[in-house]
Structure formats: structure tokens, C-alpha cells
Structure 1
Amino acid sequence: MTYNQLDWERLQKALVVEAERGFTDLVGKQYRFSEFVCLSFGQPLPDSSLIERRQWQEMASRFANYPQLTLEERQHLVATASRFLAQIQQGSRGDAGNDSQKTTNYQLPITNYQLPRTTPVNQSNQTILLDQSLGNLPGIGRRGEYLAQKLGLYTVRDVLFYYPRDYIDYARQVDIANLIEGETVTLVGTVKRCNCFTSPKNKKLTIFELLLKDKTGQVKLNRFYAGTRYSNRPWQEGMKNRYTEGTVVAASGLVKKNKYGITIDNPEIEVLGDLEDTIDSHGIGRVVPVYPLTEGVPADLMRRVAMAALPAAKQLEDPLPVALRDRYGLMGLQDAIANIHFPADTATKQAARHRLVFDEFFYLQLGFLQRRQTLRR
């Protein structure tokens, strides 16, 4: 394989042979299977869309971890790569001279939504150092430090490079009339009615009901609280007083449909000053990060630790020169780290991920090429 031209036939053959030999990461004359495929997907993809190029580079990153995958995961990845290659080649042949068709294939579904008004994630002016211990971060303390160490996190730098494994996207504010089952969304409306009572079938279960309305309709929201601490009358009356008629609230969650109609499942709710007010909560109206955890480490703690560490991202030096970043349309490292943890929206999250995947593959490919030069000597 030359390093300025992609060898499609050889790449496809490598995938076929690897599958025939039982996904053992075969060793060739110069490279292992995973190294060869990783380098192949690192070649520029000609006549491709931005989405295709990003998927192409992410495929390279996935094959970089091939030796650590289980047999089932290897099978799935090889099959995915084969389908992806077929899709790219079929698109190249079928869309020749018809760019409008190619663009149409990658259009995202149109949804009527806007970005919720939210306050910035971290407005702290306190100086946070990269090598600072986590117990000294504001709002974390020794208990939080102890729990973070269960994840192998000891310094602020460790936290910055501990990326979320997934996200919950609440950064889409929709009208009630535009709720679609299966979407995660944010609503902003006014309370029409509120009720909070103990379940007649279970004295330890408290049911909180909220009827929310906006200019397009109304929706009933429910939350369930288990435990005797919620079944006492003062707590329930306090909830009713907090959500009186006319109170403006923001609610985020997964849209579901039950026998009573459309609703949001177990929503996170915040009281706002008015319809134009900003949302302060870090779990409402935003793209919420989901981190790899272990037993005894709560998700909200990891988010608070990441948030407290975020100001230190400004101290990171970007190893990639500006010319290289501009050439590949890459976000700066400081912005990428900030937005991989708490992106403003899905597009920003994807741009941050693109930069960090590029870094991972770039250094991996340099290592492969260095190894090749060493073998030649």
C-alpha cells in the first residue's frame, strides 16, 4: 500500500481474510491486521462529504483498539467496516455527476426546536492547576476525591482526559405540540395544575403530578418518590407551594407515550423566573455527559468533578500547529476538551470528538510508521 493512495481491493481482502481466519488479528509481513486497517482508514478519502470523512477517521480509531476487543466485538467491527466500505464505494459510483443526490442522503431529519437558554457551565474565576489534587477543587472535598480515585483519577489533568462514554441530549427545546416519542427534549411552560399525594396502593410511594402548558398545548408530567420521607404531608404541601399555578418551569427527559397520551418520563424540573429566564441546572436543557463509573461512584459526582476541573483546560498547550488544524478543520485542544465534557449542542460535541479522535489516530499512525522505519533498518 502506498501512503498517498488508498488500496481498496487490498483493504477489502484483509477484512475477508481476517473473518475467514477467526478474527485473530493476523500478522502479515509488515503489519498486524489491525495496524494495516488502521493505516488504511488513515488515508485521505477522495470525493467524500464531511460526514463520511469523519466516519472514516473514527473507523481508524476503532481499529486501533482491535487487539483489546472480544471475539464478538471484533466480528461486529469487521462486519461494520465491510458494510461501510461497500456503502462508500456504492455511493461513489451511484452519485457520479449527481452531487445533489449525495447531499440528500446525509440530510438530518428536520425537527422544530430551539436551543434552551442556559447559564455557562463554569463561571469560576478561581485558579485551577493541572496537577492539583481533586480534594482541593471547589465543592468536591475529601469524600469526592476518595470516590474519584476509584476511577483512577488523582489530578485535574486526569479528569480533563477522562472522556464521557455517552451523552443525554436535552439541548433541544420544543413546544408541547411537537413532542415525539423516543426523543430527549426540554420543555418550558407554565404550571396549570399541581398535585402531590401518597399512592392509595402503596403508602411508601408519593406521586407528583404537574400539568404543564405552553402556547401550543398541555402535557401531564409525573414523578415518583419512594420512601416514607416523601409521604409526610409537610413535604407534599411544600411541593404544591413550589409549583403553584402560573409558575414557569423547565422540564427535561425522554418523551414516552402511555395509555393517557404523550408525556416525559420521570423529568428533571427547574423553576424559572419567567419564560425568558436562563436554566441554571446542569442536568436540564443541556447535553449531559455520561461517564464510565464503578460501584459506589454516583454519576452526579463525576459531573461535578469534571465541571470543577474545566477551567484548567485553558492551561493545556496544543501540540498541533495552527496550519495543520486549519487544514483538517480541527477545533483547538482547549476548546475540544471543554466541549467533550460539556458541549453546548450535538454539533459542538461532534466537532470536539472529531479533534480528539484525530489526535488519537495521528499519534498512533506516527508510531506505526516509526516502527516500519525501524524494521527497514
Structure 2
Amino acid sequence: MTNNKQYINLIKNWIRPLQKSLTLESENKFTNLHGRKQFFNDYLYESLSNLENLKLTDEYIKLFSEFSIKYSQYNNLDSNQRKRLVIDTRKCLLKLSTSIDLIYSSKNTTSNYSRFADSNLSLYSDISLIKSIGKVTKKKLNELGIFNIKDLINYFPRTYLDYTNRVKIVNLKPDNLYTCIATIKKFSIYKSQNNSNLSIMNIVIFDETSSIKVTKFFLGKRYRSYSFYTSQKSLYIPGTKIAISGKVKLSEYGKNFIDPQIEILNNNDESFNFSGKIMPLYSLSESFSNISFIKLIKKVIIYSKDYPDLLTQKQISSLSLLPKSDSLINIHLPPNQDALIESKKRLVFDELFLLQMKFLLRKRKNNKKSTNRTFAQKRFLLQDFLNKIPFQLTKSQEKVLDEIKLDISDLTPMSRLLQGDVGSGKTIIAIVSLLIILEKDQQGALMVPTEVLANQHYKNLLKYLNPLSVSVELLTGNTPQKKRKEILINLKNGMVDILVGTHALFEDKVIFNSLGMVVIDEQHRFGVTQRNRLLNKGDNTNLLSMTATPIPRTLALSLYGDLDISQITELPPGRVPIITKIITEDDLDKLFSLVENEIDNGKQAYVILPLIEDSEKMNLSSAKNIFQYLSEEIFLKNKVGLLHGKLNSDEKNIVINSFLKNEISILVSTTVIEVGIDVPNASIMIIYNSERFGLSQLHQLRGRVGRGTHKSFCYLITSDKNGLENKRLKVLEKSNDGFYIAEKDLEIRGPGQLLGYKQSGLPDFVLDNLPNNKVLIEKAREEAQNVIKDDPDLRKNFMLKDLLIDNSDNKFVHDFLN
């Protein structure tokens, strides 16, 4: 037995009776049981005090010492305090047990793969220097962005198959992953009668409990040759012991394995390579097999030991994380689920930590930008505006306004994210913010992602600000050349107060006289680079980013750590909650009658479709098809309009204006209306194929109705047989609260889909693990703050300085932030 194994047994033997006694105390309602020799608390006190021979880290010694003191005072604690102490102790012992297992498994894994080490190779060696990699393989790897061994190690699995569930054949259940050790009874291989390029191999295997058929398919000309058949027959000889790992399927002939992993166990050796373990699955081209890639990883994984760790040993211990090298080995070749979880935790932490470091460095840089220029108030617009609007700001809006006023009065430019549900009044806050800047004789810009939304904002600004003699212009990709030239001249001369626009605002020809404020609506649709291009058109420009997709605060901190966050948490008074119902296509006749009644009462309706035209690939309803059906067969006496992304700007504006004037009663549209159309008279929202949309998107679409004081309805049509029980749709039926819905959407789809950040450069496993790692996010932020506080210019942290300031070598953080 090795020293490592002896040490693990020592720790395990110490933990086991402690956990047993803690369980017994818990089962007996924390009454301080008396054992054979002593009371429960005395036993725990003594056990947690005598730690000399265990060689634990300082962290554990400190924790267990604190626990031992509490157990000495156990009789003075009430029941809840005892319960808390027992729970915390059990957690700590479990954590110690898991960490010991991981250390041993990492050392074991390292020794297993050290035989592949080549003294001529290093972390930065070209992949062509690895034995067995020829020109063809090198080209395939280069196409994946892999050029050296470090790139190869950084190419993480997209997911895993857990084959550790090893059972006897008799206990196999359909639609589950299993591993079986069995013996070959029969073997056959033949060409498919339906496809001459397909070969089918059938093996019947048995163990002491039962037998089962295993089927493998081989597609391609090379698999139909006599030599291939002969080679397979020589491998799978009856009586040979094999390991089968895969999913069990149920057919009319009974249970069978379809296309599983198969390994021949030489000399009855059961320490097999892939079967019975956790198998990584990589995103690869069809010409590169997953097994081949794993074999390649095994050849280079030992070089993970040379991977520089951006955390010190002290940080690793205090944060209870794995060393970087161990986490890289385990992310590719996890010995067990615990090792995989801890490895993901470490790698996720690194990305979040670097992200927070970048945010804090940028914030520090912005804080240094404080300007000596003071802008005297030359115009008096804000109070006049607030006096003229026919409503009062909500308390939540007033709170946000106070935060913005405070920011703008500071010498450091404002960087603030404003979150607010659909219809909560973000536009009014945007207008007020711009007016504060105009009072200082500066200009403002309002940037939005679509022309529809740009036109809506432009009209709103004209309605509110024309009486105040504020000059507002609209600039989009479709602005006529003559008008564009006029706008750009007036903008440069300072004659335009506020410029509303789309991506056209980024253009170099767009020059402001004195840009003081940029407001970005639907900010998650713009990258940081785009945001900065517009901000750089002014000197120390204030930034207000707005989103109607509420983001849980912890997640917002991890994704927008350089912005201060404000939230509008209440809707204006008088808003009636929208009634939402899930219906099937069988109920459409009843629904159309309801729509007819609403229209007869002067109201209007939206009908939303996922596609513009019918598609052979997707069995979904299309806008053009439903428009034709509703206008020609259902609503013959009512005007039906059609809106979609392929219409040009003029055509879109004609349709939208007709709907605004109630010349169109029913607007059939794609999700182009998700943001930007405000028609208080619309009372019905109908969404076809609703199961195909995300929760937050459905909530945004629903927000197009219910903007007045009358009752409004949203009908979610589902073509799915189980649609009425669809968990996501049920959330929408239950609640109108955008923050609650966003939390649920986050749980179901993950932040990458919810926030549109799959293209952000952050690895999928970082994004997908964010919702469940709030503690890790806080830890990363706290550690980043500690580093910046101790070493603001990173003079002691050379690796961090190199990563974050000098060359941004970390591609995830670099892509995400730049």
C-alpha cells in the first residue's frame, strides 16, 4: 500500500465514526445522546481537538478547532443552534473527504499518463511534433483552432457520458446508460439490404444473470470489405470477455444495446480504457472520431503539470479549489463525478475571476478619467418636462433618477445599467437623463438595435421634447443621403441636441460637438467594443445602458461588473395584469370569436409567428401563411396587416402607423415587434408555436399588450401534445413578474441563451454553470477586489498583468470584453 493510500485510509477512518455519531444525533433531534463511554458532545470535542497526527491544512485545523469549542458548550445551545452546528460539521467533514479523494485521484491520474511524456515536448510545442500526428491530422486540428499542446489541453469537452453505472444484464432498464461486463455468445456481421454502404454487426452477450443483443452500425465503403468483416470476426470470438457501455433501448424483440462503446478485456483485465468511466465528448468534425481525440489528449495531458497557475498556493487553499494542473487533467479524463465537479468549479472560477479583474481595472481606469471641466447649467428643461407630463414618476423611478443625478454630478463619468420590466417606464428615465445633460449644454445619443425601435423612440422624444424646443434627429441605415448630410453637419455644429439611431451611430462620419451622454436600449444586443466606439465620440461620456430582460443581481455582477446597477421594481399605477392562457390548436375557433368581440369593442390584436414563410425543415406556422388564412377566411370584415423583417423600412413604417391609427385591427407579425411598438389600444396577443420561444422572449412579446388601463389577454398556442403541461409556459401563465420569469428562464435555458451571450467568448461550461454558482461568483468578485486593493497596478502579479493588461492572452475574457 502506498503512503498516499495509507494517508487516505487514516483520514477516512477518522471521519467515518464522526459522521456516524453526527447522523445519530440528528436522528434523535439533537438531544446530546449518551454512547457507550461518553456523551455525544464530549466525543466530538475530543475528536476535533486532537488533530496532530492528521497533517491537515491550516484551514481545516482552524475550522475543527472552532467546532470543538462549540461542542464543549453544546449543553448551553438551543435546538436550532445545535442543529446548525451538526450540519456545518457534517459539511466540513464531507468536504475534507472529497478533497482527499481528489488529491489521490489526481496523483494517480498523473502517474498513469506520465509514461506518455516526451522530454523533447513542452506546453508550447507545435502539435506536429507529437508522435502519430501527420499532415492530415494536423490540418484537422488547426481547423479547430489547435496549433500547440496548450491549445489542445484548452479544448474542453462539450459534455460527458457517465458510464460508471455498472450493472448485471438482468437489471438493465431501457433509456438509461449502463456498463456491463459480459462474455460473447454469438457474433454476426452483414451488409444492410436497404443501404449498400451500411454494415450491421450483432453480438449476443451473457453474464451469470441473463443475455442481451448488442448492435453496431458501420457506415461507409471501407466497412463493407471482406477484410473488415474478417478483422471484426477475429476480434469478437465467442467466449471473449468484453465491456459494453451505452444506452439500453427497448424494441419489439426486447432490450438491446444500440451503438455502444465496446472494449475487449485482454486476459480478463477489467481496468478498461473508456467503458465503465466518464467519457468526454468533444465538438469535432465528422472526419475526427471522439475516441481518436481522447487518445490524443492522453498523450499530452501530462503537460498540464507545466500549466502556469494564476492563483498562489495560499489562494488555492483559502478558496478550497483544485490546482489548475489537476483541474485540467480531470476536465478531460475525470476519474469520478466529484473530480469533474471540482475541476469545473476551478475552471469556472478562473474565468469569473479574470472577468472581475478586468471589470475592476476598467472601473479604476474610468475613475481616473475625472474631468476638470465643469458644465454650468445653461438651460432649464428637466423641471419643465416633469411638470408637463400627465403622470407622476413611481417611487422606484424617482430612486433611479436620484442615483443618476448623483452620478452625473460626480467628476467621474457615469456607467450604469438600468433594469426594468416591460412597461415599467425606462424610456422616461432615459429622457430625464438626457435632459440633465442638455441642461449642461452637451449632446445626447440614444442607440437601439432595430429601426422599428429607433422610430418608436424618435416619435416619443418628439412628442415629449418638441414643446421644450429640444432638437431631436433620427439616423439609421435607411436615412436618405441628403437628410444624413444635413444631420451630420448640424450634429457637428451642436445644433442637434439628441441623436437617435441604430448601428449607424458608430460610423466615423458621425461627429458630435460635445457628447455628454449615451443611452443604449436593449443593451445586451451590443458588444462592449460597439459601446466603447460610441462613448469615445465624447470626452468622459456618461453611459446609461437599459434592458427589459431582468437579470438576477448576482449574474448581472458577473456579466456587467464594470457597471453600477439600478432597478425599476414597480409598474406605473393603473396597469391591469395581463391574463395569460395556454391553448391548443383545437381551441382556435373559440379564440377567434373572442378576438372578433374585442375588435367590435374597438380593440386590436397581435398574432405572432416564429417564421416568415413555411419551411420544409420545420413543422411550424408562418406569418405569410397565417396572414393569408386570417384575412381571407376568418376576419373578412376586419383589416389584417402583415409585418416581418424582410419588409424595407418604409413598408414597415406604413404597417406600424396603420396599426397605431387603428386602421389595421389585427397585426400578423414575426418577433420583429418584440421591442419598440407601443399601441395602448391593443388588448390581445396570440403567439403560435409558443413552445418554440424562450420564456423571456414570450414575456417581451406579451408586453406589447396591457399598456393601457383595460384588461388584456395573451394566448399561447401550442402544437405540442404535452403543451398544456409545458413547464416553461406554465411559468408565464402563473406570473407577470419579469424578474421571476427571468430567474425561471435562467434555470431552464441558462444565461447564454437568455442573454444572447453564446457568442460572447465565455466557454459554454462557464455560462451554463453561472446560475448554480452564485457563491463562486461572489468569491471571484471578492478575490478580485482583494487583489486590486493589495496590488492596484498588478506589479506583484506578473501573470495577471500579462493576461489582463499587456497582451490579453486569455481568449475567453479578451473576446468577451473587447
Q: Which TM-score band applies after superposition, normalised by the shorter structure?
A: 0.5 to 0.7
* Aligned counterpart, 1:22: none
Pick from 182, 207, 211: which aligns with 2:204? 211
* Cα separation, 2, equivalents of 1:178 and 1:296: 36
1:279 aligned counterpart, secondary structure:
coil
Q: Does 1:329 align with 2:326?
A: no
Q: Does 1:343 align with 2:334?
A: yes
Q: Does 1:131 align with 2:124?
A: yes
How do 1:1-377 residues align onto structure 2 when only pairs under 5 Å count? 120=112, 123-127=115-119, 128-199=121-192, 204-227=197-220, 230-231=223-224, 235-236=228-229, 238-280=231-273, 283-294=274-285, 297-377=288-368
CA spacing shift, 1:372–1:226, aligned 2, 3 Å: closer
1:132 aligned counterpart, secondary structure:
coil
* Cα separation, 2, equivalents of 1:376 and 1:230: 66
Structure 1: segments with no counterpart, 5+ residues: 1-94, 104-117
Once the two structures are TM-superposed, the CA of residue 168 in structure 1 deviates from its matched residue by 2.1
2:299 aligned counterpart, secondary structure:
helix
Once the two structures are TM-superposed, the CA of residue 316 in structure 1 deviates from its matched residue by 1.7
Amino acid at match of 2:116: S
8 Å Cα contact 1:171-1:344 kept in structure 2: no
Q: Deviations over 1:30-56 (max 9, x none)?
A: xxxxxxxxxxxxxxxxxxxxxxxxxxx
Once the two structures are TM-superposed, the CA of residue 190 in structure 1 deviates from its matched residue by 0.9
2:247 aligned counterpart, secondary structure:
strand
TM-score if structure 1 supplies the norm length?
0.62
Q: Deviations over 1:54-93 (max 9, x none)?
A: xxxxxxxxxxxxxxxxxxxxxxxxxxxxxxxxxxxxxxxx
Once the two structures are TM-superposed, the CA of residue 152 in structure 1 deviates from its matched residue by 1.6
Structure showing the higher helix proportion among its residues? 2
> Max radius of gyration: which structure?
2
TM-score if structure 2 supplies the norm length?
0.30
CA spacing shift, 1:168–1:157, aligned 2, 3 Å: same
Once the two structures are TM-superposed, the CA of residue 355 in structure 1 deviates from its matched residue by 0.4
* Aligned counterpart, 1:44: none
Amino acid at match of 1:221: V
Q: Deviations over 1:92-133 (max 9, x none)?
A: xxx999879999xxxxxxxxxxxxxx9945631312301100
8 Å Cα contact 1:122-1:307 kept in structure 2: no
Q: Deviations over 1:284-325 (max 9, x none)?
A: 333222223357555445434433321211112322122222
2:181 aligned counterpart, secondary structure:
strand
Once superposed, what is the RMSD of the aligned Cα atoms?
3.4
Once the two structures are TM-superposed, the CA of residue 272 in structure 1 deviates from its matched residue by 1.2
* Aligned counterpart, 1:3: none
Once the two structures are TM-superposed, the CA of residue 149 in structure 1 deviates from its matched residue by 1.0
Which of the pair has the greater relative contact order for Cα pairs under 8 Å at 6+ separation? 1
When structure 1 is superposed on structure 2, of 267-276 and 132-141 the one drifting more is: 267-276
* Cα separation, 2, equivalents of 1:269 and 1:132: 33
* Cα separation, 2, equivalents of 1:244 and 1:152: 42
1:123 aligned counterpart, secondary structure:
helix
8 Å Cα contact 2:117-2:299 kept in structure 1: no
Aligned residues: 270
8 Å Cα contact 1:336-1:356 kept in structure 2: yes
Amino acid at match of 1:224: F
CA spacing shift, 1:297–1:96, aligned 2, 3 Å: farther
Once the two structures are TM-superposed, the CA of residue 332 in structure 1 deviates from its matched residue by 0.8
Once the two structures are TM-superposed, the CA of residue 235 in structure 1 deviates from its matched residue by 4.6
Once the two structures are TM-superposed, the CA of residue 375 in structure 1 deviates from its matched residue by 3.2
* Cα separation, 2, equivalents of 1:238 and 1:340: 34
Once the two structures are TM-superposed, the CA of residue 258 in structure 1 deviates from its matched residue by 1.6
* Cα separation, 2, equivalents of 1:366 and 1:299: 36
When structure 1 is superposed on structure 2, of 148-157 and 301-310 the one drifting more is: 301-310
* Cα separation, 1, equivalents of 2:322 and 2:166: 26
* Cα separation, 1, equivalents of 2:180 and 2:317: 38
* Aligned counterpart, 1:64: none
1:371 aligned counterpart, secondary structure:
helix
8 Å Cα contact 2:116-2:300 kept in structure 1: no
CA spacing shift, 1:129–1:235, aligned 2, 3 Å: closer
CA spacing shift, 1:244–1:305, aligned 2, 3 Å: closer
CA spacing shift, 1:120–1:189, aligned 2, 3 Å: farther
Q: Deviations over 1:181-236 (max 9, x none)?
A: 33323211111222233445555543322111122322111123345654556654
Once the two structures are TM-superposed, the CA of residue 348 in structure 1 deviates from its matched residue by 1.2
* Cα separation, 2, equivalents of 1:96 and 1:193: 64
CA spacing shift, 1:298–1:225, aligned 2, 3 Å: closer
2:115 aligned counterpart, secondary structure:
coil
* Cα separation, 1, equivalents of 2:198 and 2:283: 31
1:194 aligned counterpart, secondary structure:
strand
* Cα separation, 2, equivalents of 1:295 and 1:231: 19
8 Å Cα contact 1:210-1:221 kept in structure 2: yes
